[in-house]
Structure 1
Amino acid sequence: MGFILGTLAMALSGCADRFRASSIFVVCAIAGAAFNAGFAWLSTGMASAAVFRFLVGVSLAGIYPLGMKLIVSWALEKTGTALAQLVAMLTLGTALPHGLRVIGAQLPWQEVISVSSVLALGGAWLIFTLGDGPHLRRASRATRAGEIVAAFGNRMFRSAALGYFGHMWELYAFWTIVPLYVAQSVLGKHLHLGGVSGISFLIIGVGTLGCLGGGYISRRMGSAPVAAAALALSGTCSVAFALGWRSLPAVPLFILLLVWGASVIADSPQFSALSAKACPPELVGSALAIQNSIGFAITVVSIAAVTALFQRVGLDSAWLLVVGPVLGLAGFAPALLSSGERAD
């Protein structure tokens, strides 16, 4: 919720485009590192811990969307490929806790959190050294909230955002539910790859390769077909899983989940690249921030819904994830058709 409110404020206030992206990134990374360390060492109970986590989320609002803007500012001509590398690292980081558990990491959680604060400070130093790229300009005046909302009047931006929203319904709910699906299926009983944690690490982590592969292909085919193909493939995998988890042997089911894990994230950087290209250069930061805000708000609902449904129907809850790709493809269709017309 901190991230959602932070990105919304960043977008509607125009701060994401009025000030240097690198400066916002550095300030928010330092603040996030401090609040993160406070969570580890100063929390005295659930209430204080939740406050620190909320403030970390607010700080991240100046890191993730502004990081994407910085990528665009340095690599405007290959945005899809560059953003794919950024999201690939996010995916690997998401899978890493499962991998650490497999190798038997027994560090106190406070020390793990403290290390992440140190890494955040390292990231702040790198961006401070790098600065902003040459391809995007700051807004010459304070951006009005109405201008940000008006970006959705652009058909290409609106279509890319709708595709992204459908993708977000599926993505984080999938990442959340993977360990439960592994534990309750034949995988947890018959596949020996580090137990639930090891298998979950592979299924989530393979998304890193999906992002990089999608970024490579986008340089030849464009971002729109890659995003649509990945979203359609992840939706197909969710249907296949919902239909086949009872009957499929362990190895074919594992392969299906690997394909799902690779495709479920491969579309994300391509949707962001399309959104960045569709809006005016001076609004890129705000447009990406509000897209993130709405997208992550959707994940709050989908995670709660799929985990609640899992308690009632088990692995058949995968049917709920199909909703995202279906609606995302329907919303993204105008942009896909437009890209085909330009190619012709």
Structure 2
Amino acid sequence: MPASSARRLTVVLCAAEVLTMLGFSTFAVLLAPLRDLWGLSNAQAGLIGGAFFAGYTIAVPVLVSLTDRVDPRRVWIVGALLAAAGNAGFAALADGLATALLFHALAGAGLAGTYMPGLRLLADRLEGRAQSRAVALYTASFGVGTASSYLLADWILRAATWRLAFGVPAIATLLATALVLLWVRPEPPRIRPPTRLLDFRPVLRNRHSVTWSLAYFAHSWELYAVRSWLIAFLAFAAAGQVPGSGWPAPAQVAFGASVLGIFSIVLGGECSIQLGRKRTVLVLMSLSAATGAALGILGGSSYALAVTLALLHGPLMTSESASVTAGALGNADPAYRGATMALHSMLGFAGGVFGPVAFGAVLDAAGGSGVPGAWSWAFAVLAAVTLAGPLALLVIRPADLPGDGRDRAGRGPGTTSGCGTSPSGRRGAG
């Protein structure tokens, strides 16, 4: 694909990703007002929030695996319409627990049909460094959309009604659908898998791709545990601080760390291209684990130190996200790229589910959130799980991608430049 066409495709899909993500955090912003309006318990309100991810989990293996068999553009459009219907239904019809569960789960299923299928649209049309850079930008767009979702929902809630906070993302998703219909051409898969839908055995036999997905599991475990507990930890560290000391509030620190992480995703992807993917991810994940452990051990004694370490840990924590995703996709057998992405996404979601729970369990076992040592233990265990990602790369040694580190690392002279080719020159070799 010509460079100009590659850039246009990347811009269109990144813009569409941001637009479809504008409803991602809407319920999180509106949780307390809707809980009180509908007379829900905290558990019921949390159940509505979880319904989004339940819808995603149920839909992602089917919708993403389908991209091996039908045009990914068609799957993306179906996903976008599901997301628009979920948000629009919430805006117009939600009036309590049952309807909110239904429409929020539908919106989550829509994300399953847009996020990874959109990544597939890039991966199928680009190769080498252009593919790696596009994946980094697309992954960063997820963060842009998430942060924008918080701000948009909060602004609309202050200026208008909560129903409009769901209605605007529905309209934005329809706009994204128009962009994809106009600027992304249809392109059915060139190779169709001989196996049945949801048969992941060929994917599991590809150690080069699966290892990157295991690193993604460790990355997601750390990322979602910290996003769930960081504000609570910073509030603990701030207890007893003199008001007006000039340091930002915990929620502002968390937002700042998330914004910095958007830029680090792109920078980490570029480092993988220039220096080698394994080398970059090994260094970044190890630094993230070390900084996270330091945050738990040292941050409880000083709010200023906690803020500083949190703002350093945030971008380190996200910096390898695009690199491990591109590693999994680039080493996938082209016939099973959709199934590979489905497995990759499910492993990432599993890390996101279990990470926050495990963090809280360690916190409770070590004495509770009021004990400084308990936070130290929780962050130390989290760092140990994070290091499982670099350990998997060291032990299994998956391949880098063509063009990474000027082809120095992980590829022999017989390797071609096609995506999904293993170091031995065989597609999807195990």
Q: TM-score range by the shorter chain?
A: 0.7 to 0.9
1:211 has 2:265 as partner = yes
Structure-2 change in CA distance of 1:140 and 1:74 (3 Å): closer
Deviation string 1:273-331 (CA, Å, 9 cap, x unpaired) is 11111111122122111210232023112223324555653233323422431222222
1:288 has 2:315 as partner = no
Paired residues of 2:80 and 2:173 also in contact (CA < 8 A):
yes
Q: SS of the residue aligned with 1:233?
A: helix
1:172 has 2:224 as partner = yes
Paired residues of 2:203 and 2:339 also in contact (CA < 8 A):
no
Structure-2 change in CA distance of 1:289 and 1:338 (3 Å): closer
Q: Which residue of 1 aligns with 2:168?
A: 115
Q: SS of the residue aligned with 2:291?
A: helix
**CA distance, structure 1, for counterparts of residue 275 and residue 78 of structure 2:** 37
**CA distance, structure 1, for counterparts of residue 85 and residue 240 of structure 2:** 39
Identity of aligned residues (%): 24
Deviation string 1:229-274 (CA, Å, 9 cap, x unpaired) is 2211211111111211133450x43222122110111211111111
Paired residues of 1:28 and 1:60 also in contact (CA < 8 A):
yes
Q: Which residue of 2 aligns with 1:31?
A: 82
Q: Which residue of 2 aligns with 1:58?
A: 109
Q: Which residue of 1 aligns with 2:57?
A: 4
Q: Which residue of 1 aligns with 2:177?
A: 124
Q: Which has the larger radius of gyration?
A: 2
Which amino acid is 2:389 matched to?
Answer: G
Structure-2 change in CA distance of 1:69 and 1:186 (3 Å): same
2:301 to 241, 247, 263: 247
Please list, as runs of the form range in 1=range in 2, the aligned pairs for 1:91-102 lying within 5 A after superposition: 91-96=143-148
**CA distance, structure 1, for counterparts of residue 332 and residue 194 of structure 2:** 17
Which amino acid is 2:228 matched to?
Answer: T
1:42 has 2:97 as partner = no
2:208 to 138, 141, 156: 156
Q: SS of the residue aligned with 2:158?
A: coil
Number of paired residues? Answer: 340
Paired residues of 1:233 and 1:263 also in contact (CA < 8 A):
yes
Structure-2 change in CA distance of 1:91 and 1:170 (3 Å): same
1:144 has 2:199 as partner = no
TM-score, normalising length: structure 2: 0.71
Paired residues of 2:68 and 2:336 also in contact (CA < 8 A):
yes
Instruction: Report how far residue 186 of structure 1 moved.
Output: 3.1
**CA distance, structure 1, for counterparts of residue 127 and residue 57 of structure 2:** 26
Q: Which residue of 2 aligns with 1:90?
A: 142
Instruction: Report how far residue 199 of structure 1 moved.
Output: 1.7
Deviates more, 1:318-327 or 1:183-192: 183-192
Deviation string 1:150-185 (CA, Å, 9 cap, x unpaired) is 212122112111111111111112122222222221
**RMSD between superposed Cα atoms in Å:** 2.8
Q: SS of the residue aligned with 1:342?
A: coil
TM-score, normalising length: structure 1: 0.88
Q: Which residue of 2 aligns with 1:268?
A: 321
Query: Runs of 5+ in structure 2 lacking a partner?
Result: 1-53, 370-374, 401-408, 414-430
Q: SS of the residue aligned with 1:279?
A: coil
1:303 to 351, 356, 364: 356
Paired residues of 1:71 and 1:82 also in contact (CA < 8 A):
yes
Paired residues of 2:398 and 2:410 also in contact (CA < 8 A):
yes
Whose helix proportion is higher, 1 or 2? 1
**CA distance, structure 2, for counterparts of residue 82 and residue 94 of structure 1:** 19
Deviates more, 1:166-175 or 1:67-76: 67-76
**CA distance, structure 2, for counterparts of residue 37 and residue 171 of structure 1:** 30
